[in-house]
Amino acid sequence: MPRVRYTKLVALLVLAGFAVWMGTGKFSSVGSAATEPVEKPAAAEQPKAPARTVGVVKAPHVQHARAIRISGQTDAEKRATLAIRVMGVIKELPVKQGDHVNTGDLVMRLDAEDKQAAVEMAKVLVDQRQAEADAAERLFKSGNTPKLQLDQARSTLAAAKAQLETAAAELGRNEIYAPFNGVIDRVPVERGSTIMAGTVVATLINLDPLLAVGEVSERDLPYLKLGSEADIRLINGQTVKGTLRYISRDASTATRTFRIEVAIANEDKQLPAGMTAEITLWSEPTNAVVLPRSVVTLSNDGDLGIRYVDKDNKVAFQPIDIIDDNTNGLVLGGIPDDARIIVAGQELVTEGDTVNPVEADAETIRKLLASGASDGTQ
């Protein structure tokens, strides 16, 4: 009996403990409790990469004239094709190819004995009519002849003079004279040959001044000014100077370019027409800097320019205007006065990057200039 009571007591205690456990509401087992999320410690922040070091310079600004280079050729300042107006036989041909002539020099004369005789007869007739008119004038003043007879004498004198002028004009058609100073370039006829009216007997060109002729683009037109100097390099390597004397105001419809003429002094006539030439026109000096060709780069949008470092050590891009390209490097316009231009490492950074700018030494700049001059950039 007592043993039965002990068993019941244990059962009651177990039941009471189970009831208490159920009342707590915690049903997770030891294994499931282990799966509850546990806060992880914050991950350690990654160290930032150090700013890239770039070489920069503050290029001094200079005044430099813009160079506009175009291809062209030399040409005569004046050119005339001399042709005869009547038919005849060449009697005199005192010039030959290459001769220098002055205004009014005889170039060719046809045989015109009959026309010369007509001029002489007209002169005699004029002298006769002049004498008759003078006599009528004296008689009229003395009252011995009527006014009508004096008027008739004057009329016949005028007709004789007109006849002389006509005969002289006919004789003049048989002669050709140089209309300006120049060089006889071609003489396609021979003395003694018979020629028809309209036949070309000589070509005359004026080579002083000689012209260098080319065409400039509409983009370069605003920089040109009449009277400015120009350099002309001929195909044989000879270099001469000239003056811009003409700028066309009517563009070519095919190329949208404008004709220009540069006058070159050529007193000795040694420079010929028709020679290939490179013409360099110079504009008014403008504010610019000289930099190595290697500093020029492209922006993210494909624009040509340079990268520089602003006051916050961030990379910025500046479009450029190429004013000239010479042995010292590129002459660039449009660069701010205080810009620290990146001359080393500009291809390794992009706009907005923070960098560590270091002043480039003279040796670095010299090497950059040397590499830019040797890369053949034009």
Mean pLDDT by 10 residues, the chain (378 residues): 59 65 55 50 59 83 88 94 91 92 93 85 90 86 82 89 88 90 92 92 93 93 91 93 94 92 92 94 88 83 87 88 83 85 83 86 61 42
- CATH code, domain carrying 126: 2.40.50.100
Identify whether residues 299 and 265 lie together within a single domain. no
Q: Does one domain contain both 267 and 300? A: no
SS (H, E, C) 214-277: EEEECCCHHHCCCCCEEEEEECCCCEEEEEEEEECCCCCCCCCEEEEEEEECCCCCCCCCCCEE
Q: What angle do CA 293, 295, 298 make, to 5 degrees?
A: 105
Full domain range(s) for residue 147: 78-195
CATH number for position 229: 2.40.30.170
Q: Which of 173, 195, 217 is the last residue of a domain?
A: 195
Supply the pLDDT for residue 213: 96
Last residue of a domain, one of 143, 160, 195: 195
Residue 155's SS3 state is helix
Total domains in the fold of the chain: 3
In a shared domain, residues 281 and 369: no
* 323 in any annotated domain: yes
| Predicted pLDDT of residue 112 | 84
Q: What is the CATH number of the domain that holds 363?
A: 2.40.420.20
Domain identity same for 168 and 228: no
Question: CB of 315 within 8 A of CB of 53?
Answer: no
Q: 28 in a domain, yes or no?
A: no
Are 224 and 173 part of one and the same domain?
A: no
pLDDT for the residue numbered 38 = 53
Domain assignment present for 35: no
Name the amino acid, one letter, at 306: I
Q: Are residues 266 and 304 in the same domain?
A: no
Residues 298 and 280 occupy one common structural domain: no
CA distance 278 to 313: 44
The whole-angstrom separation of Cα 182 and Cα 93 is 17
In a domain, 17, yes or no: no
Assess whether 89 and 189 both reside in one domain: yes
Report how far Cα 138 is from the mean position of its chain's Cα atoms: 75
CA pair distance 184, 173, nearest whole angstrom:
20
In a domain, 350, yes or no: yes
Residues 247 and 346 in one domain: no
Which tokens in the block code for residue 168? 């002289």
pTM flag (> 0.75): no
Instruction: Give yes or no: residues 181 and 99 share one domain.
Output: yes
- Please tell me whether residues 267 and 292 are part of one structural domain: no
* pLDDT at site 48: 63
pLDDT at 372: 46
291 & 279 share domain = no
Q: CB of 331 within 8 A of CB of 296? A: no
pLDDT for the residue numbered 45? 57
* Per-residue model confidence (pLDDT) at position 273: 92
